[in-house]
């Protein structure tokens, strides 16, 4: 997330008359580095990127692969409330929500491996848990990363059923 890349993404978003600017990152996650290293090495460039979005009336949508749980506190302490969408992968959204409350909209939660290899019951249970514990403060229930092409149709129906049964967004 360097300056030229950020400036290009802002330009593209404005050209397209978008309200959201999409950015992705994985190497700043706690899977690779400690929160201290994140704050020292990654945070300054991410903060620049996010501030540029705010200056241009864009909502940052951050697609963050791997486990960012511990870093979410840094975001919450340094960014305006309800200013970003965090599309998270390989995290427990309930645990992230316990750390940051209603500070941001959380997206994801349904791991691609669960969607492909899990049972419809497991898919519905996981969706129910996130809806009941996170949705009130901002949740976009989706695949944690990609939406695999080989998800059994029964699991897609289970996800849809859970959303209709426990809460609609």
Exposure letters 3-20 (e unless 16+ CB within 10 A, then b):
eeebeebbeebeeeeeee
Which pLDDT value is given to residue 26?
Answer: 86
Is there a contact between 128 and 159 (Cβ–Cβ < 8 Å)?
no
Which pLDDT value is given to residue 3?
Answer: 87
For 7, 74, 86, the CA distances from 50, given in Å and listed in that order, are 11, 13, 12
Query: In the predicted model, is pLDDT for residue 14 greater than 70?
Result: yes
Q: Within 10 Å of residue 109's Cβ, how many Cβ atoms?
A: 26
Q: Mean pLDDT: which of 1-5, 20-24, 103-107 is highest?
A: 103-107
Quote the strand ranges of the chain, DSSP E.
20-25, 59-64, 85-88, 105-110, 139-143
For the stretch 39-94, pLDDT in tens is: 999 999 999 999 999 999 999 999 999 999 999 999 999 999 999 999 999 999 99
Please list, in sequence order, all residues whose beta carbon lies within 8 angstroms of the beta carbon of residue 14, skipping any fewer than 6 positions away: 56, 58
Query: In the predicted model, is pLDDT for residue 169 greater than 60?
Result: no
Distance CA 79, CA 119 (A): 38
Strand, coil or helix: 163: helix
Model confidence at 145, pLDDT cuts 50, 70, 90, reads confident
Model confidence at 168, pLDDT cuts 50, 70, 90, reads low
pTM given for the model: 0.91
Tokens standing for residue 118: 């899990």
Which pLDDT value is given to residue 167?
Answer: 85
Helix (H) or strand (E) segment spanning residue 51: helix 43-55
Least confident window among 21-25, 54-58, 125-129:
21-25
Distance CA 141, CA 1 (A): 26
Distance CA 135, CA 169 (A): 8
Instruction: Look at 65 and 1; give whichever has higher pLDDT.
Output: 65
Mean pLDDT for 110-121 is 97
């Amino acid at each position: 997330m360097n300056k030229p890349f950020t400036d290009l993404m802002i330009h593209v978003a404005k050209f397209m008359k978008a309200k959201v600017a999409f950015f992705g990152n994985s190497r700043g996650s706690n899977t690779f580095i400690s929160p201290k290293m994140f704050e020292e090495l990654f945070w300054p460039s991410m903060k620049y990127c996010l501030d540029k979005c705010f200056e241009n009336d864009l909502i940052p949508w951050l697609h963050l692969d791997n486990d960012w749980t511990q870093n979410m506190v840094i975001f919450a302490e340094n960014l305006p409330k309800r200013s970003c969408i965090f599309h998270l992968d390989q995290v427990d959204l309930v645990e992230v929500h316990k750390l940051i409350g209603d500070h941001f909209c959380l997206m994801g939660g349904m791991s691609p491996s669960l969607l492909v290899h899990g049972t419809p019951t497991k898919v519905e249970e996981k969706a129910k848990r996130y809806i009941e514990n996170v949705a009130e403060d901002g949740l976009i229930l989706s695949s944690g990363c990609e939406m695999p092409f080989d998800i059994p149709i029964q699991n897609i129906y289970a996800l849809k059923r859970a959303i209709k049964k426990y809460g609609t967004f």
